[in-house]
A and B are shown apart, each in its own frame.
Chain A
Amino acid sequence: MLNQVVVHIILVGLIFAVFLMATAGKVEGRGVKQQVLEKQTALLIDSAEPGMDFIIYKINSNGVIRDVKIDHGRVWIGIDGFDSYVGYPYFSKYSVSVRAEEGKFVVSVR
């Protein structure tokens, strides 16, 4: 009987831990911050002229940026351990690439 109660408490605790972690992510607005960064970056690429570079600092007002990818016509930004699953599409007449440097990502339009 006692074992059953202990197992019960552990399982309920696990469910609430998952619930709290998921809610914490939402409350911190990581998804919204990621959306802001992806859309800002896509608009910058849309309006950039060849020869332009722009920098996205890893320590950003929107959080700690782990990864910036340009792939399949979309911008993907991983922020605060929150991966991007959708990305945001951009359009450009030019070649777009991104490289990681110390403390920043550099997006180049050529």
Chain B
Amino acid sequence: MIYRLVLVSIVAIVVLGISSIFYSHFIDVRDAEARIMARDVVDCLTDDEVVLGDSFELFRDCGIFVGDPERFFVRAEMVGEGFEFSVEHGDSGLTWIKDFFDANLVSGEIKKYNPGYYTGDFVGKVFVDEEIDVSIKVEVLVSDEF
């Protein structure tokens, strides 16, 4: 009797396992998150009330509350007449993972580990003694969510 019960249990577990893989579906919103984060970062960097300097820390000084900050790598570079400023948050090593996936070396299920990514060029104004026009290059990478 025990033998049969064990056999039935194993069959049930195998069928359950297969169905859980077959019916699962992953919805990727990380590219959208990266785009929204880039907009928030630009809004912050061009905000008159934000002081840009050596001690500037992106999420802290921008007041961006992030549930899981390690998911993000953000790099922003601002260039204007006589003005340069750059800031980074997170692990730049994540860009390696992005390059790896971009090289099309993987396929199938592993592709869902491809990070979300957005890079864009923006224009804005900062106040340093006087108002300066700046161009802002923002790169945002959102790592996996597993």
Q: Is A18 an interface residue (CB 8 A)?
A: yes
In the assembled complex, how far is the CB of residue B109 from the closest CB belonging to chain A, in whole angstroms?
A: 16
A53-61, A86-94, A98-106: which lies at the B interface? A86-94
Which A residues are CB-close (under 8 A) to B24? 26, 31-32
Q: Quick one: closest B residue to A27, CB to CB?
A: B23
Q: How many Cβ-Cβ contacts under 8 Å join chain A to chain B?
A: 82
Please give me the residue from chain A that is nearest to B13 by CB atom.
A19
Q: Which residues of B contact A88 (CB under 8 A)?
A: 145
Known contacts A12-B8, A15-B9, A73-B68; A93 and B15 CB within 8 A of each other: no
List the B side residues contacting A47 at CB < 8 Å: 36
* Complex Cα spacing A19 to B17, Å: 10
Separation of A13 and B16 alpha carbons in the complex (Å): 16
Question: SS class of chain A's interface: helix, strand, loop or mixed?
Answer: helix
Q: How far is the CA of A92 from the CA of B37 in the complex (A)?
A: 9
Total interface residues on A, using CB and 8 Å?
A: 32
* Residue of A29, A46, A91 touching B23 (CB-CB under 8 A): A29
* 17 A-B residue pairings within 8 Å (CB atoms): A15-B12, A23-B19, A26-B24, A32-B27, A35-B26, A39-B27, A43-B32, A47-B36, A74-B67, A74-B68, A89-B67, A91-B33, A91-B40, A91-B67, A91-B72, A93-B40, A93-B62
